[in-house]
Chain A
Amino acid sequence: MNDAGAVVARRAPAARASPALLRLDNVSRHFGKLQAVQDVSFAMNEGELRAVIGPNGAGKTTFFNLITGFVPPTSGDIWFDGKNIRDRSVVYRVHKGIVRTFQITEVFPDLSVSENVRVGVETAAGLNGRPWLPRHVRGDVERRVDELLDIVGLANKANRTVGELAHGDQRVVEIALALTMNPRLLLLDEPTAGMGDTETDHMVDLVRRLHDERGLSILFIEHDMSIVFGIAQKITVLDQGRVLAEGSAADISANEQVRAAYLGEAQ
């Protein structure tokens, strides 16, 4: 399995030639003795729909935390849109367009759906510090909120309190929140976790539409293999903090190491 990681690592310099949207060069992160992410290199182009899979403890969440800046890397560089962002804060990266959702839904539970989205819209417009808004700006904000609710299909639930919504709808609200920030790279941490079949179908459809119709670059972590193989253009397999394999659905399902380390265990 070390070979696979090494192959990817060697491939990284080549990737430098093409202008990748996101690139990780030999990134590692240790927590004490625990090596959560080891020497991972990864590149993703604008407009791609990519998946990260791996067994529990493979380092997927740390991988996301490294990209979003929640956790700084122990070593290695992280590039976004041609700039090295390894030392940049979460807030900086969000404003550059790296926006994420969480494995455990993170919304504003006591606010209504439209109030949730409004916070994001105002943030994206840089209005947060304003103690007062002129009427026409407030109108613009409301229109943008409605627009986003239309995109994710929550317009009919705009005034419902988010904490009262079904779990699946709450996760959609979280995606709407992420969209308010005009992401250039949307990171979804297990978007369908804990969802029923219909909810899952709705979410998959939403993710696909965001990619197909809006050309959004999306990177998601997912456990449900049928989803991963169904929509991801390229799949990266993490195992014990390393990249075990990377490729199309066909490549991955044919990969012996992946089957041994992961799929065998799941099936």
Chain B
Amino acid sequence: MIRRHPVEILLWIALATLPLWLGPLGGYTALGTKILIYGIAALALNLVLGFTGGLSFGHAAYFGLGAYGAGMTLKYLVPSTPLAIVVGTLAGGLAATLLGPLVMRRRGIYFAMITIAIGQLFYFIAVRWNNVTGGEDGLAGFRRQPLHFGSFVFDVQNEIKYYYLVLFCFVIAVVIMRVLLASPLGHTWVAIRENRRRALFLGLRTDLYVWAAFAISGTITALAGTLNAMLFNFTSPQDLHWILSGNFVIMIVMGGMRKFWGPLVGVTIFVVAQDYLSSLTDNWMSLIGLLFVLIVLLFPKGILGLIAPRRREVSTPRAPGIQQADAVLEEDGSPLRDSTKSLREATK
């Protein structure tokens, strides 16, 4: 159905054999697992960010909800890995679905601000609801459980076996996202990103499709969160914090937000760099910050954008400052213009 690029086949081979070669290269399997987990989250966030054009800066909320959902299921309900995954994913997905309508009509800056702020609600709940969530110290005291298939037991407490469970989830997430992006729904998302007004005048209820993107993206991000909680058998409010949301976004931008695999490239570099830098210097936060600045200034299209330059620079003929007033200014006699006139006279 979807033509495979040779590089993509190489990628799958590399992922399937990762535990064999990552060790000799100086890594460790859990690092590979973390890359896949963050990869799921970043690819999912990119459905909104890169493909629908919604500046979501609050996706850590859904990641963290997935993590807490899984951890609390294992700790308080049933010691079952599959159930933990399902509960966590649904918890995060439900939150994204319910909160979607609050952001679906917004654009650009406002979309970003509201998603950032909403995310913090869950952060403070996790921090303050001590006796259930473990508060600032995080939620511990749960363990991922072996998978039972009849009499066959797949013991994912083993790191390598857990890697393959995560890879399995990664494959499912990737297949779902690819199918969606190749479907009319995916085409609609891209159309909304490209030109929301044109989409509206084609008779598209743009807000509903933005909502769908947000809900699906949040659900898959939550899946990543559940896997992350079980990787470390621990989760903390940091998994809900806006700093993590920002990190997801920079990973995506670094890799290239207009390419499907861009986020995974960014995640790989980011996770490896963070792992390395945090063992090297106490000031790794500054270095990560510097990375943000340099990427924005020098590589705005991301690494995959460099290798295969995009077909056209994204730019509109309008000055950046006025795009907010876009819809209203379209009118030749809008109230905004009108009030500008009086100001114009005052400025003379």
Interface presence of B314 (CB below 8 A) = yes
Structural contact, A122 and B184, CB atoms closer than 8 A: yes
Interface membership of A61, Cβ < 8 A: yes
Find residues 167-193 in chain B having any chain A CB closer than 8 Å to their own CB: 179-180, 183-185, 187-188, 190-191
**Would you give the 0/1 interface string for A57-99, flagging 1 where the beta carbon is closer than 8 Å to chain B?**
1010110010010110000000000000000001100110001
Check B202–A110 contact: CB distance below 8 A: no
**Which of the residues B201, B212, B311, B312 comes within 8 Å of A129, measured between beta carbons?**
B212
Q: Does A17 contact B (CB under 8 A)?
A: no
* CB-contact partner of A57 in B190, B310, B333, under 8 A: B333
B332 at the interface (CB under 8 A from A): yes
Pick from A33, A124, A128, A180: contact of B209, CB below 8 A: A128
Contacts of B188 in A (CB 8 A): 119, 122-123, 128-129
* Inter-chain contact A131/B187, CB cutoff 8 Å: no
Q: Would you call B155 an interface residue if the criterion is a C-beta within 8 Å of the partner chain's C-beta atoms? A: no
Contact of A119 among B180, B187, B258 (CB under 8 A): B187
CA–CA, A124 to B203, complex, Å?
8
In the assembled complex, how far is the CB of residue B287 from the closest CB belonging to chain A, in whole angstroms? Answer: 33
Within 121-174 of A, Cβ neighbours of B (below 8 Å) are at 122-124, 127-133, 161, 163-164, 174
Known: A94-B201, A94-B203, A111-B194. A31 touches B338 (CB 8 A): yes
B202 touches A181 (CB 8 A): yes
- The answer on a CB contact under 8 Å between A90 and B200 is yes
Most B C-beta atoms less than 10 A away, residue of A61, A71, A91, A94? A91
Of all chain B residues, the one with the shortest Cβ separation from A141 is B184
Interface size on B, residues (CB 8 A): 36
Contact A120 B333 (CB under 8 A): no
Measured between beta carbons, the chain B residues less than 8 angstroms from A181 are 202-203
Smallest beta-carbon distance A165→chain B, Å:
10
Interface contact B311-A57, CB-CB below 8 Å: no
Contact assessment for B333 and A109 in the assembled complex, using a CB-CB cutoff below 8 Å: no
Shortest beta-carbon distance from B256 to chain A in Å: 14
Bin chain A's interface residue count: 35 or more
* Contacting pair A164 B201 (CB below 8 A): no
B118 interface contact, C-beta 8 A = no
With beta carbons under 8 angstroms apart, the residue of A70, A107, A110 that contacts B198 is: A107
CB of B202 within 8 A of CB of A131, answer no
CB distance from A168 to the nearest CB of B (A): 17
Collect the chain B residues with CB atoms within 8 Å of residue A91's CB.
Answer: 200, 203-205
Any A CB within 8 A of the CB of B278: no
User: What B residues does A122 contact at CB under 8 A?
Assistant: 184, 187-188
Which residues does chain B contribute within 8 Å of A237, judged by CB atoms?
none
Are B187 and A118 in contact (CB-based, < 8 A)?
Answer: yes
Residues on A with beta carbons closer than 8 Å to the beta carbon of B345: none
Of B194, B198, B332, B338, which contacts A32 at CB under 8 A? B338
Which residues of chain B are near A118, meaning CB under 8 Å?
Answer: 187
Does B335 lie at the interface of the complex (its beta carbon under 8 Å from any beta carbon of A)?
A: yes
Report chain B residues within 8 Å CB of A130: 183-185
Query: By the criterion CB–CB under 8 Å, are A109 and B184 in contact?
Result: no
Report how far A127 CA is from B335 CA in the complex, Å: 37
Residues of A in contact with B (beta carbons under 8 Å apart) = 31-34, 36, 56-57, 59, 61-62, 65, 68, 70-71, 90-91, 94-95, 99-100, 102, 104, 106-111, 115, 118-120, 122-124, 127-133, 161, 163-164, 174, 177, 180-181
- What would 17 A/B residue contacts be, using CB atoms closer than 8 Å? A31-B331, A33-B338, A34-B338, A36-B331, A36-B332, A61-B331, A94-B203, A108-B195, A110-B194, A115-B190, A122-B187, A123-B203, A128-B185, A129-B184, A129-B188, A163-B311, A180-B202
Q: Which residues of B contact A (CB under 8 A)?
A: 179-180, 183-185, 187-188, 190-191, 194-195, 197-205, 208-209, 212, 258, 310-312, 314, 317, 330-335, 338
The 10 A-B pairs at the shortest CB distance, nearest first, are namely A94-B203, A108-B194, A163-B312, A106-B198, A36-B333, A122-B184, A127-B184, A34-B333, A119-B191, A161-B311
